[in-house]
Structure 1
Amino acid sequence: MYRYSVPPMLRNLRALSAILAKAEAHCTARKIEPEALLGFRLFPDMLPLTRQVQLACDFAARASARLAGAEMPSFPDTETSFAQLIARIRTATDYIESFDAGQFEGAESRSITMKQRGGEVTMTGLDYLTGFALPNFYFHTATAYDILRHNGLEIGKMDYVGS
């Protein structure tokens, strides 16, 4: 479970951090107010870039905590700049890196209970990771990428995938 959660989430968060640094440089080079990108939504009923990054961090950190049977972290949603979003990613990656593979032993069958709209949902760790945590994590990282690509940032698939 560790292998299928922590390394890919760390890779994508680091890639997202690099993309945000490129976005900041893009704004500077083209004299674009950063707020124009930070507040951009792909569609009016979708969340803006800042919130997409915050949620990507939250899904990665909370998934790691739940699967390791640890207390879930809480990050205040106060970021208003690219530098602050990059710092939030660093905070999330530092937290995720604090776990070792041994803490994930038995996580596939561990009971995970979450509050959802309309009540609580309980599932196994495997179902949680594959059916909830990873899909949501990738949705928010991909949407952040899409917002920036849509706004002219010269990035490609390898920027999203990371190294």
Structure 2
Amino acid sequence: MSFYDASVPAFLQILGSLSGLLTKAEAHCAAKNIQPEVLLGARLYPDMLPLSKQIQLACDFAGKGCARLAHIDVPSTPDTEKTFEDLRQRLAKTSDYLKKFTPAQFEGADSREVTFPVGPDKTLTLKGQGVLNRFVFPNFYFHAATAHGILRHNGVEIGKRDFLGVA
């Protein structure tokens, strides 16, 4: 399996499922007379990031991770989304961005050194395989699963099949 095939389709699957989760969350808000900003600001614990930021970060890890692996400029993605529709648009833009990548751009990425930020004033350099498996995938899936957990915790009727995008 190519490095491209191991990454881009996996990102696209979950980004698509997150869009579906947001649609169900918005319907839940309408049905239960909940203000959307309440759910968009919901957290699993007070020191964790809210739902909206979980979606933004999942997008960032997919898009920026692929850019770094393909050794191209990392896109700037300001966090301006305030509504379910804004977040679905961000997911769609990220998916469209990922669909422009080609397998050729990922050739040799597994062994190429990649330097990336790991905090405000810190960077880390790893081979591409390590970047994908030890940093990008874990962070991407953490934020996607946390978004799912926030919605489920707040009563949105979703399950594992929704997370996987096969519901």
Displacement of 1:11 in angstroms is 0.2
Instruction: Please report how far the alpha carbon of residue 115 of structure 1 lies from its aligned counterpart in structure 2 after TM superposition.
Output: 2.4
Residue 107 of structure 1 aligns to a residue whose secondary structure is coil
Structure 2 residue ranges without an equivalent (≥5): none
Q: How many residues align?
A: 163
Q: Secondary structure at the match of 2:91?
A: helix
Matched, 1:110 2:124: no
Distance 1:67 1:25 in 2: 37
DSSP 3-state at the match of 1:131? helix
Q: Residues 87-106 of structure 1, C-alpha deviation per residue, up to 9 Å, x if partnerless?
A: 00001111111101111000
Q: 1:141: which partner in 2?
A: 144
Which residue of the other structure, out of 34, 37, 41, is the alignment partner of 1:35?
37
1:95 to 94, 97, 104: 97
- Counterparts of 1:1-163 in structure 2, within 5 Å, are 1-117=3-119, 119-163=122-166
Between the aligned partners of 1:70 and 1:106, the Cα distance in structure 2 is 14
TM-score, scaled to structure 1:
0.97
Measured in 2, the distance between the counterparts of 1:39 and 1:77 equals: 14
Give the match's secondary structure for 1:114.
strand
* 4+ runs deviating over 6 angstroms: none
Q: In the alignment, residue 65 of structure 1 is paired with which amino acid?
A: A
Letter in 2 for 1:78: T
* Aligned residue identity for 1:36: V
SS in 2 for 1:64: helix
Q: TM-score if structure 2 supplies the norm length?
A: 0.95
Task: Point out where structure 1 has 5 or more consecutive residues left out of the alignment.
Answer: none
Q: What SS does the corresponding residue of 2:134 show, helix, strand or coil?
A: helix
